[in-house]
Amino acid sequence: MLVIRPIRSSDLDALMQIAIESGHGFTSLPVNEELLRQKIARAEASFKKPAGKPHDEVYFLVLEDTETGEIVGTTAIEAAVGLVDAFYHYRLGTEVYHSEQIGVRNEVETLTLCHDYTGAAELCSLFLRENYRKDNNGRLLSRCRFLFLAENKDRFGSPVIAEMRGVSDANGESPFYGWLQKFFIGIDFIKADYLSGLGQKGFMAEMMPRNPIYTCLLSEEARAVIKEVHTSTLPALKLLESEGFTCRGYVDIFDGGPTVECDLENIRGVRDSQVYTVKISQALPEDGNKTIVANTRLADFRAIQASLVITDGSDEITLTPEIADALMVAEGDTVRLLSN
């Protein structure tokens, strides 16, 4: 069985391997053992912390194959970004130039460096190992976060954002970053992205252009990938769009990928999830629907995917002993459900 649970210190080696497999441009999981160790420690502390004003907490979850004990995926939510480390974006805008005298009007797209998402919650670190990219496992990894958000709203800022990985080639080079490297920063994309993942972002404030950038002055290759996503990221983007997320003109400062957002209360998976009381039976009806089901705990959060029968008007859900054990619930406990 595949079970979502909070990460723990014993998962370090598995997380390191996933960081290696995730490749260039996956900033939230740099290939650095000490940083990953610190991320796990921060997550463990976050799950133990009493509810309060969102700050620097991260709720990092892993997908475990309980038959093998292997960690096969990751997913996480940052409670409030930019309160400790600067959180940069480019904001797309438009400047208008108009002359009545010569009868000319021009609209020019601009990119302006900003911190507009400071305090927002962030969906991040979504990765599924290749052999498990089937059977809606990716949807489980992504949408289980909405059950966690729905149950713990006071722990997160709003809106909720997600940075979509932008276009880069097989060598990790970004067409969008090329002009920035040439005229401003002077280091390659892979190194800049790695330093950002380490939290070493001082060079951004020192070297990034301080004035709005006219996109018409960029290369054709750079302009073409603004707000575009990496091919491997397209399914994740489509899923978030179906949940109500949209891009409001913010893009990543390195690869130009879009950042999408949605108010926490308006996320479809948060709004539509329902709480049920558990009943346990040895067998379930055969006509169940694929459902994401999670317990309503914090440090012992568990979520799985199962075929369940949801009866209209009922506040009870029947689980098998196996499912109940995986979720760490007993009869009479509550679970939160979301159709998958």
The residues that are catalytic are: 230
**Interatomic CA distance for residues 183 and 168, integer angstroms:** 19
Angle subtended by helix axes 12-22 and 33-48, to nearest 10 = 120
Q: Are 301 and 294 in contact (CB under 8 A)?
A: yes
Q: Are strands 274-280 and 334-339 parallel, antiparallel or unpaired?
A: antiparallel
Q: Are 2 and 140 in contact (CB under 8 A)?
A: yes
Contact partners, residue 11, CB within 8 Å, separation at least 6: 40, 62, 71
Ramachandran region, residue 288 (left: φ > 0; alpha: ψ -120 to 50; beta: rest): beta
Q: Are 73 and 151 in contact (CB under 8 A)?
A: no
